[in-house]
Amino acid sequence: MSDLRDLYQEVILDHYRKPRNFRSLADANRKAEGFNPLCGDRLTLYVKLKDGVIADATFEGSGCAISTASASLLTESIKGKTEHEAEMLFQSFRDVVTGSGETPNTDLGKLDVLAGVREFPVRVKCATLAWHTLRAALASQKEPVSTE
């Protein structure tokens, strides 16, 4: 069962039970909705962008442990980053959870706890939902993001 523990690490379960930045953001100037039709996960991501830097990020919604923890970790890890840095982080993160590409140049920091997802291909979409939603928010995309 060690591989199940790789997926459900304590940090992930902790972020699932007590998601960080789990609220709406009154002064957000970027916002997007994400939806995973496969499992019904929904989230709304709020971003406050100031001079090209992500000053604050929060989220609301309901989802599985992986998608909730991923969204929670996302909000923590992108604060203070420029849009470009957030995009680089997204790409590195995606490479790690899909098991594609080479070892990322960017240090994933605590996002690394989600690396176990690569052994569970059907759960990759759970881990990347928040990130696709972030991209849509930064692009001021109106249509909700769907993982399908």
Partner 1 sequence: MKSTVNEIRAVEAAHLQFDVARWREDFPILKQTVHGKPLIYLDNAATSQKPASVIDCENRYYATLNANVHRGIHSLSQRATDAFEAAREKVRAFINAADTKEIVFTRGTTEAINLVAQSYGRSRFKAGDEILVTEMEHHSNIVPWQLLCEQTGARLRVAPIDDAGVLRMDKLEALVNPRTRLVAIAHVSNALGTVNPVRGIIELAHAVGAPVLVDGAQAAPHLKVDVSALDCDFYTFSGHKLYGPTGIGVLYGKFALLDAMPPYQGGGDMISRVTFEKTSYNALPFKFEAGTPNIAGTIGLAAAIDYVEAIGLDAIAAHENDLLDYATRRADELSGLTLIGTARDKASILSFTLEGIHPHEIGTILDHRGIAIRTGHHCAMPVMDHFGVPATARASFALYNTRNEVDALIEGVREVQALFGQ
- Give the binding site for partner 1 (CB under 8 A): 1, 3-4, 7-8, 13, 38-42, 62-66, 120, 122-123, 126
- Closer by beta carbon to partner 1, 47 or else 59: 59
Contact (Cβ atoms closer than 8 angstroms) between residue 32 and residue 141: yes
Smallest gap from Cβ 65 to partner 1, in A, equals: 6
Classify 130 in phi/psi space as left (phi over 0), alpha (psi -120 to 50) or beta: alpha
Smallest gap from Cβ 8 to partner 1, in A, equals: 6
Smallest gap from Cβ 87 to partner 1, in A, equals: 28
Smallest gap from Cβ 125 to partner 1, in A, equals: 10
- Closer by beta carbon to partner 1, 7 or else 134: 7
Classify 30 in phi/psi space as left (phi over 0), alpha (psi -120 to 50) or beta: beta
Tokens linked to 69: 């923890």
- Closer by beta carbon to partner 1, 39 or else 55: 39
Tokens linked to 135: 């991209």
The length of the chain is 148
Q: Which residue intervals of 27-122 are DSSP H helices?
A: 65-78, 83-98
- Closer by beta carbon to partner 1, 7 or else 97: 7
Sign for the CA dihedral angle at 129, 130, 134, 137 comes to: positive
Return the SS3 of 92.
Answer: helix
Smallest gap from Cβ 37 to partner 1, in A, equals: 8
- Closer by beta carbon to partner 1, 8 or else 22: 8
